[in-house]
Amino acid sequence: MLLRQLEYLVALARERHFARAAAACHVSQPSLSAAIRKLERELGVPLVRRGRRFAGLTPEGDRVLLWAHRILAECDGLRDDLSVMRESLSGTLRMGAIPTALTAASLLTTPFCERHPHARVSLSSLSSREINRQLADFEIDVAMTYLDDDELGGVRASPLYEERYLLLTPDDGTLAGRDVARWAEVAALPLCLLAPEMRNRRILDGIFHAAGAVAVPAIETDTVSALYAHVATHRWSSVIAHAWLYMFGVPDGMRVVRMEQPAQVPRVGLVVADRSPEPVLAGALLEITRGLDLRDTLDRLLRDHLAPLPTAVPPQARTENS
């Protein structure tokens, strides 16, 4: 059995197409097919359901795929260990992030790459459920996600910050002049929110429910960027997480208003699979994280956006005072 054969099987399971898997592995399709058939002969079990096109893996193939992910991850760890011994950390850190935390991911990846210039980062936007699966299947090394997730298991977690919620609304909106907006009032506004399958939306729905309200948004989307694009038209308001300000700020003609503090504040953190040895690159990112204070960085950004704008002095008053 060769590592190359396992890499081909992983690529085939990911691409679900022989030609695309071969292209991803930079080999011809006959070479990939022959290598997988040889692996089947060596293991004595069929791994792939074959027909006119790829039809999926057999139950034995699914089991071998799980081991392939594990073996390839261990090989990556070996290479990383050796690179540390050469005093030059290299390789690719495979990182996932929920879309609502992706906006702040550069606060971690930038200092990581500055400290380890020979290392690379592969950053993917993933749902919290997909993060849980990919960590368990050795497909990613580390992730930014909600720590208050009942499905999150078998991981070591490092808290980064608590999510704080803001009303993003047109500056001539009915609640734009408030110091604090109430959830029941916000539910009555024309809203654009993330889609119900997003964990952030499910959290917001729970907070609205606790306030005795139900939000029925006019626009639902599965990306933060699309949400901002709609809100920037000044036709809708939204409830945003304060970390989004780091990437998107506040569009012209809009303002942010602090929301009532919910009874339970969601926490966002960095998680790695609870296994030994720990992936070297994931450990290096965790070490950098311990020297950062994302909570303070994002809270200072929030205070800057909530600070009242200086009142313009009329030209006549300036003349009289001069």
For residues 188-197, give the mean pLDDT.
Answer: 96
Assigned CATH topology for domain 164-265: D-Maltodextrin-Binding Protein; domain 2 (3.40.190)
User: Torsion angle, CA of 149/109/140/199, rounded to 10 degrees?
Assistant: 30
Amino acid (1-letter code) at residue 110: T
The pLDDT score that the predictor gives to residue 308 is 65
Instruction: Tell whether the torsion through CA atoms of 129, 132, 134 and 137 is positive or negative.
Output: negative
Question: How far is it, in rounded angstroms, from Cα 129 to Cα 184?
Answer: 29
The pLDDT score that the predictor gives to residue 77 is 73
Task: Quickly count: other Cβ atoms within 10 Å of residue 7's Cβ.
Answer: 20
Domains of the chain, residue spans: 164-265
Spatial CA neighbour of 228 closest among 249, 242, 246? 249
The least confident of 80-84, 186-190, 249-253 is 80-84
The pLDDT score that the predictor gives to residue 274 is 85
Phi, psi torsion values for 122, nearest 5 degrees: -110, 105
- For 33-61, b where at least 16 C-beta lie within 10 A, e where not — what string? bebbeebbeeeeeebbeeeeebeebbeeb
Tokens representing 247 are: 């990437």
The pLDDT score that the predictor gives to residue 194 is 96
Global confidence as pTM = 0.70
The band of 137, judged by pLDDT with boundaries at 50, 70 and 90, is confident
Question: How far is it, in rounded angstroms, from Cα 193 to Cα 230?
Answer: 10
What is the percent of the chain where pLDDT is above 70? 92
The band of 317, judged by pLDDT with boundaries at 50, 70 and 90, is very low
**What are the E-state strand segments in 41-90?**
48-50, 54-57
pLDDT digits (tens, 9 = 90+) for 284-313: 999 999 989 999 999 999 999 997 644 444
Spatial CA neighbour of 217 closest among 242, 238, 246? 238
The answer to whether 300 and 307 have CB atoms below 8 angstroms apart is: no
Number of H helices, E strands in the chain: 14, 13
The pLDDT score that the predictor gives to residue 84 is 59
